[in-house]
Amino acid sequence: MKRIVIYGFTMGLLLIQSSCTNITLLRTQELREVQSHVDSLKAEMAALQEEIIKEQKQQSEMLRLIRADQQVRFEEFDRRLAALAGNISESQDRLSQIDRKTLEIKKRWEEKAREDSLTQYAVDAEIENLYKIALSDFTAGRYGVAMSGFKDLINKFPESQQAKESHYWLPECNYVQKKYKDAAEGYKNYIKNFSNGSKVCVALYKLGLIYEKMKKKKSCDMVWNKLITQCPDSEEAEAAKARM
């Protein structure tokens, strides 16, 4: 009986030990699986960390390149800005030089204009003086001297108004000296060359008088008709009507 009890106890212990062993094996297997899973997770995390570190390095490198590129661009911009500032300064200097030159030219023009004005004043004064002297000689009956004065005025200042008037006074000098042929030629030249001159009406009348004196009635009538047509309200036209 005792042996039976001992055997049973022994068997029970063996069963308990066997069960414990199985449980231990199961737990060990579970622990191994868990450890394996943990190791797998660690490996994934390590790989992920490595990928993150790699990505960070790439981003850092890209950021460095971007910053370097920006630095280069900023430096280039600074150089261009400095060059632009230099160009602006140079342009301002050139504009200042142009302004100074323009002012100098303006001053020269003003000085020249004043000189020209003074010169023209002197010329006008000389022309008027020559004309007055010639007229004074004509009035005084010095017809030869007067003709020389009028001719001198025409030769020196042919474009002046006094020179145009002198072309009338030349035949007038011949007329008062009864040099009718020369006077007629002078009047005709004056009428032809200065059709709008201030003495045209008088010249036409005097030319008609010459033809009348020379008994050239046809020429006289033709001239006076032209006078009446061209200067209808003049005293010379009224005188011509009375003589026709």
Do 175 and 206 contact (CB within 8 A), yes or no? yes
Query: In the structure, what pLDDT confidence band is assigned to residue 63 with cuts at 50, 70 and 90?
Result: low
Residue 222 pLDDT: 95
32-48 pLDDT, tens digit each = 776 776 667 667 767 76
88-111: average pLDDT: 66
Domain range annotation of the chain = 118-243
Compute the mean pLDDT over every residue in the chain, rounded to the nearest whole number.
Answer: 80
Using a pLDDT cut of 90, give the percent of the chain over it. Answer: 46
| Residues 174-186: tens digit of each pLDDT | 999 999 999 999 9
- Report pLDDT for 19: 57
Per-residue model confidence (pLDDT) at position 142: 96
Separation of alpha carbons 10 and 74, rounded Å: 92
Which of the pair, 184 or 69, is modelled with greater confidence?
A: 184
Could you tell me the pLDDT band of residue 96, with boundaries at 50, 70 and 90?
confident
Task: Tell me the average pLDDT across 70-84.
Answer: 69
What pLDDT sits at residue 201?
95
Residue 11 has pLDDT above 90, yes or no: no
Find out whether 146 and 173 touch, Cβ atoms under 8 Å: yes
Q: Which CATH entry fits the domain spanning 118-243: 1.25.40.10, 3.40.1410.10, 1.10.1670.10, 3.40.50.300?
A: 1.25.40.10
